[in-house]
Amino acid sequence: MLWKVKAPTPSFVGCPPQMATRASIVIPTKNAGDGFRETLEAIQAQDPAPAELIVVDSGSVDGTPRLADSYGAKVLTIPPESFNHGETRNLGLAAARGEIGVLLVQDAVPEGTNWLAEMIRPFENERVAGVSGAQTPRADADLVALWEVAYSRRVLGDEFRLQQVENWCSFLTASLPERLQMAAFNNVCSAVRRSCWEAQPFRQLPFAEDLDWGVRALEKGLCIAYNPAARVIHSHNRSASYDLRRHYLAWKTVPELLGAQDFESDIQGDREFRILAAALCGEVESILEERAADWRRLWEREECCELPPNFLRSWGGIFGLCAPPHSSTDNPMRRHFYSLLRELEAFDNSDTTGLTGRVLVRAMAQSIGHFAATYYKWCRANQRVSRSMALLDRALSARV
Q: Cα(first)–Cα(last) distance of the chain, in Å?
A: 37
Q: Is 351 exposed, middle or buried (0-12, 13-18, 19+ CB in 10 A)?
A: exposed
- Using a pLDDT cut of 70, give the percent of the chain over it: 73
Query: How many CB atoms within 10 Å of residue 340?
Result: 19
Coil, strand, or helix at residue 26?
strand
Give me the long-range contacts of 347-356 (CB less than 8 A, separation at least 24): 347/143, 347/146, 347/147, 347/150, 348/143, 350/143, 354/291, 355/143, 356/143, 356/294, 356/297, 356/298
Nearest to 373 by CA among 208, 250, 241: 250
> Mind listing the pLDDT tens digit for each residue in 202-261?
999 989 999 999 999 999 999 999 999 999 999 998 877 788 889 889 988 998 899 876
Radius of gyration (C-alpha) of the chain in whole angstroms: 22
Number of H helices, E strands in the chain: 17, 10
Backbone region of residue 20 per phi and psi (left: phi > 0; alpha: psi in -120 to 50; beta: other values): alpha
Res. 130: pLDDT tops 80:
yes
Distance of CA 231 to the CA centre of its chain: 16
Q: What is the band of 353 on the pLDDT scale with cuts at 50, 70, 90?
A: very low
Angle at 253 between CA 247 and CA 258, to 5 degrees: 120
Rounded to an integer, what distance in angstroms lies between the CA atom of residue 362 and that of residue 323? 20
Q: Which residues contact 198 (CB under 8 A, 6 or more apart)?
A: none
Sign of CA dihedral 17, 94, 185, 146: positive
Rounded to an integer, what distance in angstroms lies between the CA atom of residue 74 and that of residue 137? 29
> Mind listing the pLDDT tens digit for each residue in 316-329?
444 433 333 444 45
Adjacent-strand bridge partners of 76 = 56
Res. 312: pLDDT tops 80:
no
Rounded to an integer, what distance in angstroms lies between the CA atom of residue 230 and that of residue 111? 8
DSSP string, 125-138: STTEEEEEEEEE--
Rounded to an integer, what distance in angstroms lies between the CA atom of residue 25 and that of residue 192? 11
Give me the long-range contacts of 12-17 (CB less than 8 A, separation at least 24): 12/121, 14/114, 14/117, 15/48, 15/117, 15/118, 15/120, 15/121, 15/124, 17/48
Q: What is the band of 14 on the pLDDT scale with cuts at 50, 70, 90?
A: very low
97 or 285, which is more confident: 97
DSSP string, 327-371: -----HHHHHHHHHHHHHHHH--SSSSS--HHHHHHHHHHHHHHH
119 or 4, which is more confident: 119
DSSP element (H, E) containing 144? helix 143-156
What confidence score (pLDDT) does residue 338 get? 75
Angle at 10 between CA 6 and CA 11, to 5 degrees: 135
270 or 40, which is more confident: 40
Rounded to an integer, what distance in angstroms lies between the CA atom of residue 59 and that of residue 94? 20
Q: Which domains does the chain have, with CATH numbers?
A: 3-233 (3.90.550.10), 240-396 (no CATH)
CB 129 within 8 A of CB 192: yes
| Arithmetic mean of pLDDT over the chain | 80
> Mind listing the pLDDT tens digit for each residue in 359-389?
777 887 787 788 778 778 877 887 877 776 7
